[in-house]
């Protein structure tokens, strides 16, 4: 395959195109600047002009990460500084599941771009939090000095603008625990008392538990592979949908009909799996959402309780859930 054919295959793919990925990997030196250019264009181009290129961009970022193409580090960082809506459309669940691991691989020795993202009040809050995790991974690996990281985290105390929901600040406190910085415990407690760190994201008990684990030698212990460097793209993303065939053809009425149909099927098959609330509890008011009566009360059915945002929508449209019935919900 020529490079143009590889790009075309990546652009048209809805799942990881194994053959095109293998061809691209065999021509890595040629493809790195091409894919870096794809990322740079996405960062500089309005979302409306990128229609149909979300899959290509998604695969380009992950290929560069799997290849440890450090020359693309700053270009990907520039992309991640874009507004939350654009980032969600282009990268989807990668924002929370893989991008911090990709950036670990791309790191060129300068933490400046990561720091800029963490402190950027206009950047997506989940990106900002995950860049803290990238810095934590680099610190645990000895690629950022602990003293440098400790000083930086102290400087961030109370200075994370644009974090209205407390997601970044909670990540800040968790990272202090994950790296075993007991000397910053007081700064975290002050942030708890000031309401900067939200207990729904991180409790004091969890902070102390993680801090104790880190001091015992277990640094950056996440869930599963959460803090492992990004690996082979086929193995990592084999079950993902990487591009949505979303053409806005499904109107609200059509989506409501699909919601009602799937809810009815689940109600007949296994009501317990479909309920948001326990039998007898008050129903949550969502217009058009089917419900069942228990003891004179209504319990709303949630037919999507076990469907992930990146999963194919169960209505059968072929789109991602978040771009189909998940959008209506």
Model confidence at 223, pLDDT cuts 50, 70, 90, reads: confident
Cα–Cα distance for residue pair 178/220, rounded to 1 Å: 5
Range 46-70 average pLDDT = 94
**Confidence (pLDDT) at 265:** 63
Q: How confident is the model at residue 174 (pLDDT cuts 50, 70, 90)?
A: very high
Main-chain phi, psi angles of 299, to 5 degrees: -115, 120
End-to-end Cα, the chain, rounded Å:
42
Give the model's pLDDT for residue 277.
44
Per-residue pLDDT, averaged over 209-219, amounts to 94
Q: How much is the pLDDT for 75?
A: 98
Average pLDDT for residues 172-189, to the nearest whole number? 97
What Cα–Cα distance (Å) separates residue 178 from each residue in 46, 218, 254? 38, 8, 46
Give pLDDT tens digits for 73-105: 999 999 999 999 999 999 999 999 999 999 999
Q: What residues pair up with 297 in beta bridges, in sequence order?
A: 294
Q: Where are the domains of the chain?
A: 3-237, 252-328
Computed on alpha carbons and rounded to an integer, the radius of gyration of the chain in Å comes to: 22
Return d(Cα 319, Cα 240) in angstroms, integer: 12
Q: What's the mean pLDDT when you consider all of the chain?
A: 84
Give phi and psi for 41, each to the nearest 5: -65, -40
Give 234-286 pLDDT, tens digit per residue: 999 998 988 765 444 445 566 566 667 766 665 555 444 444 444 444 444 44
> Has this prediction a pTM greater than 0.85?
no
Specify the pLDDT at position 225.
Answer: 86
pLDDT for 300 equals: 45
- Position 283 scores a pLDDT of 42
* Cβ-proximal residues to 302 (8 Å cutoff; 6+ apart), any chain: 263, 274, 275, 276, 289
Query: How does pLDDT run across 125-158, given as a tens digit for each residue?
Result: 999 999 999 999 999 999 999 999 999 999 999 9
CA distance 232 to 218: 25
pLDDT higher than 90, residue 318: no
């Amino acid at each position: 395959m020529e490079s143009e054919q590889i790009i075309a295959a990546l652009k048209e793919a809805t799942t990881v195109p194994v053959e095109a990925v293998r061809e691209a990997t065999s021509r890595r030196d040629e493809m790195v600047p091409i894919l870096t250019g794809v990322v740079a264009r996405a960062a500089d181009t309005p979302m409306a002009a990128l229609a149909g290129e979300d899959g290509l961009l998604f695969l380009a970022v992950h290929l560069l990460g799997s290849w440890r193409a450090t020359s693309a580090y700053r270009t990907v960082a520039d992309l991640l500084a874009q507004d939350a809506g654009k980032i969600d459309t282009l990268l989807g669940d990668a924002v929370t599941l893989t991008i911090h691991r990709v950036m670990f691989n791309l790191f060129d020795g300068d933490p400046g771009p990561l720091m800029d993202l963490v402190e950027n009040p206009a950047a997506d809050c989940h990106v900002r939090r995950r860049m803290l995790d990238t810095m934590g991974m680099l610190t645990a690996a000895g690629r950022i000095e602990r003293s440098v990281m400790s000083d930086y985290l102290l400087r961030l105390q109370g200075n994370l603008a644009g974090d209205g929901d407390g997601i970044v600040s909670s990540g800040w406190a968790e990272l202090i625990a994950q790296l075993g910085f007991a000397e910053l415990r007081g700064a975290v407690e002050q942030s708890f008392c000031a309401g900067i760190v939200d207990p729904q994201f991180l409790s004091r008990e969890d902070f102390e538990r993680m801090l104790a684990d880190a001091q015992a030698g277990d640094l950056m212990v996440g869930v599963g592979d959460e803090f492992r460097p990004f690996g082979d793209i086929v193995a990592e993303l084999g079950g993902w949908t990487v591009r949505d065939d979303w053409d806005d053809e499904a109107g609200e009425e059509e989506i409501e009909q699909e919601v009602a149909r799937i809810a009815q099927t689940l109600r007949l098959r296994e009501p317990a799996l479909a309920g948001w609330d326990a039998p007898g509890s008050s129903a949550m008011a969502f217009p058009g959402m089917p419900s069942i009566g228990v003891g004179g009360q209504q319990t709303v059915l949630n037919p999507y309780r076990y469907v992930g945002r990146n999963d194919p929508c169960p209505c059968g449209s072929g789109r991602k859930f978040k771009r189909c019935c998940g959008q209506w919900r």
